[in-house]
Amino acid sequence: MSKKVLLFTIILIWGCNHEYVPKPKGFNRLDLPEPTYQNLPDTLPYSFQYSLHAQLLKDTSSISSEYWVEVYYPKLLANIHITYIELNQNEEKLKELFNDSYFLTSKHQVKAYSIDDIIMKTASGKTASVAELYGDVPSQFQFVCTDSVNNFMRGALYFNTKVQNDSLAPAIEYVKKDIIHLLNTLEWK
C-alpha cells in the first residue's frame, strides 16, 4: 500500500511542476498540384484555358442558361460559376448586368471585412473587373469581363465546405491564380 501512495505522490508532484501549454489549432494540409491548363470545348461562344485538375460541368441551377458552366475542383470542393450572356449591342442590358454583378458582390458585405475591386487589363487586351472578398464569405473572388457590345461574362468562386477561409487560404490563392489565367486566355468567338 505504501508503494501506491508513494507512486501517487510522485506523479502528483511531477505533474504539478510542468506548465500546460495549449497547442494552436491545426490547419488542413493541402497538396496543391502544379498548374496545368487545357482548352474549353469548341461548343461555347467563348474560349479560355482552365485547370487540368478541374472538371468542366454544365450549370444545372434552375436559372441557368445555355452557355453557363462550372469549373469544378473535386479535390478542393471548389466551383467557379461562370455565367455568359449575349448582349446583342443592348446597352440597357449591359447596365442591368453590371448592376446585378455589383449587387451580388455587395451582398457579401455583411460578412466581409474588406472587398477590393480591381480593374485589370488581361494579356489578350480585355478589361476585367475583379473583386477580392476577405472574411468568412461564401465567395472569395469574383470577376466580370465584357466587350461592352456583344459578350458579358461573370464568374464567382465558391468552396463547398464549412472550413473557415483562413484555413482555405492556400486553396483560395491557388484557384485565384487559375482564374487570372482564365481571364488572360479568354477570347470571344
Does pLDDT of 138 surpass 90?
A: no
Longest dimension (CA), the chain: 95
Indicate the pLDDT class of residue 18, thresholds 50, 70 and 90: low
Q: Identify the weakest region by mean pLDDT among 15-19, 94-98, 122-126.
A: 15-19
For 142, other C-beta atoms within 10 Å of its C-beta total 25
Does pLDDT of 90 surpass 60?
A: yes
Of residues 166 and 155, more confidently modeled = 155
Helix, strand counts (H, E) of the chain: 3, 11
Do residues 79 and 158 make contact, with C-beta atoms less than 8 angstroms apart?
yes
Give the C-alpha separation, 85 to 56, whole Å: 18
Indicate the pLDDT class of residue 108, thresholds 50, 70 and 90: confident
Domains of the chain: 2-188 (3.40.1000)
Pairing of strands 69-73, 151-159: unpaired
SS3 113: strand
